[in-house]
Amino acid sequence: MVSASSPTKRRVRLLVALVVTIAVLALIALASLAIGTRQVAFPDVIHALVSPVDGNADHLVVRELRIPRLVVGLMAGVALGLVGTVLQGVTRNPIADPGLLGINAGASFAVVLAIATLGVTQPLGFVWFAFGGAALAALLVFVIGSSGRDGATPVKLALTGAALTALLTPLVTLVLIGDGDTLARFRFWSVGSLAGRGLDVAAALWPFLVAGVVVAALLGRRLNLLALGDDVARGLGARLGTTRVLAAVAVIVLAGTATSLVGPIALVGLVVPHLARPIAGGDYRWILVFSALFGPALLLAADVVGRVVVAPAELEAGIIVAFIGAPVLIAIVRRSTVRSI
């Protein structure tokens, strides 16, 4: 017999975990403002935020360089954490993420075309092409993967994403081989970095992030039903078509926002849901909450690590995340049995 206090204990445990996670994210954010090629003491960081002094070099670094980097990391991390969770939930595929479903390939192809044909060179210029390419790729994967009698099965979506990536990657390479200038400009964007993005980019994209977060939040209960299987979910009154359409909207908006902000950083969306589930259990309402916090924590931590491991140079956050995400992906694949999500 289950104790009547069990739900209360679980809720308390989740709230404690939530407070701890927020505190950790705050500490990582503070480290992001203090640590880098130029070390800034924590008291000076606080002063730079609340009472900046004109002409103070430390305050200038914090306000002009690191705050934009922090804001971009927070926004992209939230988007990546949520898009990975929604993708894994709607496809019931534990290795689904934007990089594995062709979305990053679509964004890369659009950016390459923008550089090669239109001469786009600035991050704010890349934003809309990356967003459009990611959105079109996600839409294409969902439309093709949803065709047929069985609808959007996990296998069909994964195969469609793999096919799209296999088609677009050689096209990107073909353009880059023939144009050295395009290669030089694309290389900076494609590696995945928080550097070089200003608050103008964040200001252009925050409405899309808010819209994506709202749609993802509405999916929590629907993903719980979908995790039971299509037949059971349908029997409990779930509208599977509506759920998949909402999921497609969330994925398109969030993946487009994240890729536009920081480039095609892979594996954040893969790793974060697997970090959230041991804490949140099987309830997607809580998984989404923790994923929205773990995403920016992981991305900002990777950015901070990248600043110090080869100081005074830097490693881009996308490279550090790959070192973290690749072993997780291998561990998932190597498990003898993978539970349905």
- Calculate the alpha carbon distances from 269 to 107, 203, 220, 224 in Å: 16, 23, 17, 19
Taking the C-alpha atoms of residue 150 and residue 68, their distance in angstroms, rounded to an integer, is 45
User: Which structure tokens are listed for 69?
Assistant: 């980097």
User: How much is the pTM?
Assistant: 0.86
Least confident of 36-50, 182-196, 200-214: 182-196
Taking the C-alpha atoms of residue 154 and residue 82, their distance in angstroms, rounded to an integer, is 18
- CATH number for the domain spanning 261: value is 1.10.3470.10
Asked if residue 217 is part of any domain, the answer here is yes
Asked if residue 257 is part of any domain, the answer here is yes
Taking the C-alpha atoms of residue 226 and residue 240, their distance in angstroms, rounded to an integer, is 8
> For residue 78, what are the domain limits?
74-334
Asked if residue 31 is part of any domain, the answer here is no
pLDDT at residue 104, as a whole number: 82
Asked if residue 269 is part of any domain, the answer here is yes
The chain-wide mean pLDDT, for the chain, equals: 83
User: If pLDDT is split at 50, 70 and 90, which confidence band does 152 have?
Assistant: low
Asked if residue 223 is part of any domain, the answer here is yes
pLDDT at residue 21, as a whole number: 96
Contact present, 252 and 195 (Cβ < 8 Å): no
pLDDT tens by residue, 2-53: 455 577 888 889 999 999 999 999 999 999 999 888 888 888 888 888 888 8
Choice between 158 and 11, residue whose per-residue pLDDT is larger: 11
Number of domains into which the chain is organized: 1
Task: Write out the E strands in 26-113.
Answer: none
Cis peptide, bond prior to residue 312, ω within 30 of zero: yes
Mean pLDDT score, 119-140? 79
- For the ranges 76-90, 117-131, 235-249, the one whose mean pLDDT is highest: 76-90
pLDDT at residue 301, as a whole number: 93
Asked if residue 62 is part of any domain, the answer here is no
